[in-house]
Structure 1
């Protein structure tokens, strides 16, 4: 006789789910170097798929259509990097002057700490040296992350090409692996997933361009050196949900501190970035990024932090579209619909406990009325 997990007591069900989650997290963590490039490649392949289909409608062979689509993508990315590199070259020319200014500010800060708190300069330098020693492990992890990113860059074109080339094979596998009566659900999940990922990535790119323009304009008007470069970097950092915006504010504030006297510019930067973040979070994200990725704010923060813990910066970026795909799947499976509701942003007006609590109270009152 077959024993189903859902027929077992709750503690057995929860234990099975917990072990399943532990195994899943272990596999995702262990195979991160393989799965992260594959995940990025899958998202970009879905993004390029409409362009490939359009090129094939013009009687262009599949192989050539994929190559053209990828060349267009590479050209767009190269244009962005060329623009940023020209700004970085200008920044490099002023680096010696910025370094002297930074050393001057550091000396003033050390003297202020000694005067105000009685902390000797030698003690401050010792504490700074210890902090740098402790941060070596973090630097090593960052270096590994950079090397991992370079590996992703070289592997991505290969993965994207092969995924687009074998698209029909992959789709047929997904249909055949499930029973025939579930074909409609599989088709709906694949269609919604494709639409959600495409609209999410395109929306992110549009949002990034608008935020870069607003950041750069604000910094240039405030007279911050290399405002265009810092504004663009801030827009790229803004792609990291919630946490990237904080780092994006710190960069221009630090630049203004090094290059300008007083603190009025820093205050202006903070006010400008708060306004930009308000516009981004309340206008751009709801209307441009995607109405298809309907994940509530609490779950978004949690999955972003979990993604960072699992796959670092790549995990932070991939977490939102990944959970959006999970929600699409959960909404199509009856036993998983409560999890889909938990992830979604549709907040009910009352909880089910109020309904049952109200009924139990009415039942308790009825006998008293009968007795009277």
Structure 2
């Protein structure tokens, strides 16, 4: 057993390039695990820098200097964020508090639905089961509302931290855009000379992360806007809030869409009751989700490495448990990183076997 492990270790790490890649990965993951909360502004800035790099590079190809292009794109981005904060955030905030206040009424509508279901099929649904299930749902809705309000109040205490983010993150984004080549040059200087596998994995991951962040940003905007239009056509209450939730639900593959279905269905049940309008609303929502998964995602992520849904869900669960929101957000790129590292080691092993077979 020990001989097998020793032989496996010697085969995998006899190449200095493999050793340097492994050391870099261990150091990188350790830094994020230990100082992840401190480095959160840098992670946010990196996400926005990747998002804005495309327009900046496009202006450069048109003959605009890097500094001017980065400044123009950055100022445009700040203006868009300010418009969202002025027009969208207050509406979502107000609808959130209104929805929290009406959670008891929504729970009551759910109780009435359960009673109707028991009357419709008394042979299959016992009253005790209906009562226990309704009490459970009601308690969960009320506790959810209380927790949201408590977090909202506690967030006021962290207002100073939010102000720091509003100052630090834009500065980091601007300098990352303007001095991209300089910063990459500084990073390359600290890398060892045996960097073949690091470069191989880095090039692939740069493409993956760039495609993923831009694609997710477009997907959130498209799904959110389309959902808001559809909900508005149904005259659904809290349309802006629910559309925002649906838009951000795409950050969590497969799981997010299933979770957001619950508030959409509950609000529709509370407003329309068990009517044809409710069923048409749910049908329209399911159509949006189907078009997102089968049309929009393949178009936006055409350059992404194909991953099996089991691997994606596993990555969401594992990295989400380790790093919380950022683990969920970067679950697909991190899963692609694992795949890229495995492919790099497999390629390195094939090169070694080819070299050994070529020896006389």
Using the size of structure 1 for normalisation, the TM-score is 0.66
Is this contact kept in 1: 2:319–2:328, CA < 8 A?
yes
SS in 2 for 1:194: helix
Q: What displacement does 1:210 show?
A: 2.8
Answer yes or no: is 1:235 the counterpart of 2:239.
no
Distance 1:137 1:209 in 2: 24
Q: Tell me the residue number matched to 2:41.
A: 37
Specify the alignment match of 1:280 in structure 2: 292
Which residue of 169, 172, 183 maps to 1:159? 172
Aligned-residue offset at 1:30 = 2.8
Which of 312, 315, 318 is the equivalent residue of 1:303? 315
- Is 1:73 equivalent to 2:77 in the alignment? yes
Q: 1:359 maps to what in 2?
A: none
Q: Secondary structure at the match of 2:220?
A: helix
Shift of 1:245: 0.9
Instruction: Tell me what 1:168 maps to.
Output: 181
CA distance in 2, matches of 1:22, 1:142: 38
The answer (yes or no) to whether the contact 2:70–2:178 under 8 Å persists in 1 is: yes
The 3-state SS of whatever aligns with 2:324 is: helix
Q: Distance in 1 between matches of 2:288 and 2:245?
A: 15
Following the alignment from structure 2 to structure 1, what is the Cα–Cα distance between the partners of residues 216 and 278? 28
Listed as ranges, the matches of 1:1-372 within 5 Å are 8-9=6-7, 27-53=31-57, 58=63, 60=65, 62=67, 65-85=69-89, 87-88=91-92, 91=95, 98=102, 101-102=105-106, 104-105=108-109, 116-117=127-128, 128=139, 132=143, 150=162, 152-178=165-191, 182=195, 189-334=201-346
Deviation readout 1:2-61 (Å, 9 max, x if unpaired): xxx9981559999xxxxx999976653332212333233223223323444455675657
Alpha carbons of structure 1 residues 240 and 189: separation in structure 2 relative to 1, 3 Å: same
User: Number of residues paired by the alignment?
Assistant: 323
Q: Distance in 1 between matches of 2:113 and 2:285?
A: 26
Question: Which has the larger Rg?
Answer: 1
CA RMSD of aligned residues (A): 4.9
Residues of 2 paired with 1:118 and 1:278: CA distance? 33
Does the 8 A contact of 1:37 with 1:155 survive in 2? yes
Query: Against the structure 1 CA distance between its residues 307 and 48, is the aligned structure 2 distance closer, same or farther, given a 3 Å change threshold?
Result: same
The 1:229–1:155 alpha-carbon spacing in structure 2 relative to 1, beyond 3 Å, is: same
Q: Is the contact between residue 307 and residue 315 of structure 1 (CA under 8 Å) also seen in structure 2?
A: yes
Structure of higher RCO (CA pairs closer than 8 Å, 6+ residues apart): 2
In 1, Cα distance between equivalents of 2:129 and 2:255: 35
SS at match of 1:34: coil
Tell me, yes or no, if the aligned pair for 2:56 and 2:73 is still in contact at 8 Å.
yes
Query: Does the 8 Å contact 1:200/1:290 carry over to 2?
Result: no
Q: CA deviation at 1:86?
A: 5.8
Report deviation, 1:302: 0.9
Moved more, 196-205 or 327-336: 327-336
- Secondary structure of the residue aligned to 1:238 is helix
How far apart in 1 are the matches of 2:189 and 2:100? 63
Segments of 5+ residues of structure 2 without an aligned counterpart are 13-23, 119-125, 351-360
1:236 offset after TM fit, Å?
2.0
| Runs of 5+ unmatched residues, structure 1 | 15-19, 339-372
The Cα shift of 1:317 comes to 0.8
Report the CA distance shift for 1:274/1:201 in structure 2 as closer, same or farther (over 3 A). same
